[in-house]
Structure 1
Amino acid sequence: MMSVPQKREATSSVQLCRIMRPDDANIVGNVHGGHILKMIEEAGCIISTRHCNTQNGDRSLALLVRVEKTEFLSPVFIGEVAHVTAEITYSSKHSMEVQVKVMAENILTGTKKLANKAALWYVPCSLQNVDKITEVPPIKYASAEEEEEGRKRYEGQKMERLETKLRIEAVASPSPNPEKHTVGFSQSSLIHLVGPSDCTIHDYVNGGVTMKLMDEVAGIVAFRHCETNIVTASVDAINFHQKIKKGAVVTVTGRLTFVSSRSMEIEVLVDVSPLIATEKGKYHAVSAFFTFISLDKDNKPLPVPPLKIEGEEEQRRFEEGKARYLQNKAKRLAEQQRQQ
């Protein structure tokens, strides 16, 4: 007699805890920003997949489609424990918003600090057919206002994902022997063959793996421009436009778009090429803007060398980056005023 999966209660939140070890560190001993992003995605995937399987029917796995702007508020150090807490805060018919917080605990003193917070969007895909998006069980809201705010966030991210996909540009190869502090001088690429350890049970790349590769490339770009210790300060929305399958070759490319006196904005694009010629051709899979800052040996901010602009396209990207920088700065100031 065939057993029928039983309906189970939804989990309101999930927490992952892990001590940070030397292999999690960057070259100066802080925990790599890519590792934090990977842990955030793992927590989000667990709670959203659990929620989608609380009802009888087609079993599904939640796949990441977008990460909202992520702030790295405090560095995490080797020996500290990272507490990653995830909670579903909104659900539409076919997607979920997951809010994630990362607390860093010094287990010698017991002190804790907020290291990171992010909002992620997932869609549930059938285990039988990865191209089939299943329905999301509804969640309970504390009030009608809370549900309405969530709906506004949902509509906003949906529109931004579409706009981002339409404006993705190909990355040109830099000219030979580029001048220092130009876009071409620091532009960097990483080529990675997607293996089984990179993938979910669907045989598609785990979102956290992709984000870690993107952070690594952005870090190389920032280091080449500054030649100092650099750290991830924030990540603008990461948009996952298409899935990446096991066996594909991914090219992760980063280039500077804007530099202020204290920060660098780096556009990172993930392009996918099939290893087998009979499969579909090259395509854009993921895009994001990373912001890095330069630090001295005491982890104090350093001035960033100005970016030398060459050509109209670089000037246009610089102006667009400047607009994002000023907009984010205004949002931070508004948030600080609300908290006072």
Structure 2
Amino acid sequence: MEIKSKSWKESYTQIERLVLPADTNVFNALYGGRLMEWIDNVASIVAFKHCRQGTVTGSIDSLFFLAPIHLGFIVNMKGRVNYTTKTTMEIEVDVSAQDALSGKERFTTKAYLTYVAVDVDGRPSPVPGLILDDDDSKDRFKSGEERSLRRLELLKSVKKEAQIFDDMH
């Protein structure tokens, strides 16, 4: 069965959250770990919508915290598929935060996550490719491909390290 390619627009996801006291640290700023959870959730939704099957987080290879997000701010997270392989999807999540009282908004965070599609037995499963219908999509795909090659090299290194650890224990 051939899997039909899809546009990134079919899985694009945008979610907003309000930063509440339970989400903040002693500086009244959003915990980085809480934001990571929210980003992973957005990326998970994008992955499900793109392939309509089980998915798991393979890696979070880039997560850049550019500015703090404070108590009472509205967090806007936008996720999209940039790149696909046979069984994986690179998903970009951009985060901005808006001061709820003044309306001033700024870009705060960027993350790249890799999701793996899995079958009912938990084995990697094919995903739809991406339709590259404009220059932006083509540029994102090419950049995603470059990041994917770097991820694979790093993954080899990490697997080697894990094997050494396992052999010692």
Q: Residues 196 and 335 from structure 1, CA distance in 2 versus in 1: closer, same or farther, beyond 3 angstroms?
A: closer
Q: Which residue identity does 2:15 align to in structure 1?
A: L
Aligned equivalent of 1:234: 59
- Residue 135 (structure 2) pairs with residue 312 (structure 1): yes
What's the CA shift for 1:237? Answer: 2.0
SS of residue matched to 1:212: helix
What's the CA shift for 1:297? Answer: 1.0
Which of the two has higher C-alpha Rg?
A: 1
- Residue 112 (structure 2) pairs with residue 289 (structure 1): yes
Provide TM-score, normalisation by structure 1.
0.45
- Residue 99 (structure 2) pairs with residue 274 (structure 1): yes
Identity across the alignment (%):
30
What's the CA shift for 1:333? Answer: 3.3
RMSD (Å) for aligned C-alpha atoms: 1.9
Q: Residues 183 and 198 from structure 1, CA distance in 2 versus in 1: closer, same or farther, beyond 3 angstroms?
A: same
Q: Which residue identity does 2:110 align to in structure 1?
A: S
Aligned equivalent of 1:223: 48
Aligned equivalent of 1:323: 146
Structure number with higher helix proportion = 2
Higher relative CO (CA 8 A, sep ≥ 6), structure 1 or 2? Answer: 2
SS of residue matched to 1:236: strand
Q: Which residue identity does 1:287 align to in structure 2?
A: K
Q: Residues 337 and 216 from structure 1, CA distance in 2 versus in 1: closer, same or farther, beyond 3 angstroms?
A: closer
Partners in 2 of 1:286 and 1:212 — Cα distance? 13
Aligned ranges 1:61-100 → 2 under 5 Å: none
Q: Residues 331 and 199 from structure 1, CA distance in 2 versus in 1: closer, same or farther, beyond 3 angstroms?
A: closer
Aligned equivalent of 1:195: 20
Deviations 1:120-170 (A, max 9, x none): xxxxxxxxxxxxxxxxxxxxxxxxxxxxxxxxxxxxxxxxxxxxxxxxxxx
Aligned ranges 1:33-72 → 2 under 5 Å: none
Paired residues in the alignment total 160
* Match for residue 68 of structure 2 among 229, 243, 267: 243
**Structure 2 residue ranges without an equivalent (≥5):** 165-169
Q: Which residue identity does 1:331 align to in structure 2?
A: L
Q: Contact (CA 8 Å) 2:61, 2:151: kept in 1 or not?
A: no
Provide TM-score, normalisation by structure 2.
0.88
Partners in 1 of 2:159 and 2:10 — Cα distance? 37
Superposition misfits of 4+ residues, deviation over 4 angstroms: 334-340
Partners in 2 of 1:322 and 1:237 — Cα distance? 14
SS of residue matched to 1:237: strand
What's the CA shift for 1:334? Answer: 5.0
